[in-house]
Amino acid sequence: MSLISVSKAAKLFNVSRPTLQKALRDGTITGEKVTSGGSESWQIDTAELARLYALRDPSPANMARQDEGSGQSLAKENSGDIEGLSGEVIRALESRLQTAQAELDALRAGKANAEQELAASQAVAEERRRILDDMMKLLPKPKDHPVRRGLWSRLFSSR
């Protein structure tokens, strides 16, 4: 279980700090509150983060920008964190990938069944439409009846 700060989590998983703090408050992710030097800070398990957020691309081009305050490269600063996390994060991501692959296979099977049911339903509907058309041909055509007029209209009309 590897714990990291909210700031490092935001950098590694490309999520804003307020988003992570809100997720901690509402219980979407869990963390430990640590007190050091009189201030409290959250420490978040990397497995929790990997479950919800994608790991930021650790390529040198993405991580090599300069930190304005210290002038040090973020790639050097975070390289130990990424190496320490990679095995655990990779396992979590592989697990998510396997779960997604199983869901995709189930959806594909469901789609195939739905397509078969749709074809059968369309065939039944076409057969019923044909039968209804045949029955309509057998019915007598409606006769044109004159409009019946009421007593008052017959008495007082000029016809």
Q: For the segment 18-35, what is each residue's pLDDT rounded down to a tens digit?
A: 988 898 888 888 888 888
Which pTM value belongs to this model? 0.37
Domain boundaries, given as residue ranges, for the chain: 3-92
pLDDT digits (tens, 9 = 90+) for 59-96: 544 443 434 444 444 444 444 455 556 677 788 888 88
Dihedral sign, Cα of residue 80, residue 85, residue 87, residue 90: negative
How far, CA to CA in Å, does 29 sit from each of 4, 35, 136?
13, 19, 65
What tokens were used for 109?
Answer: 């099977």
CA dihedral sign of residues 125, 126, 130, 131: negative
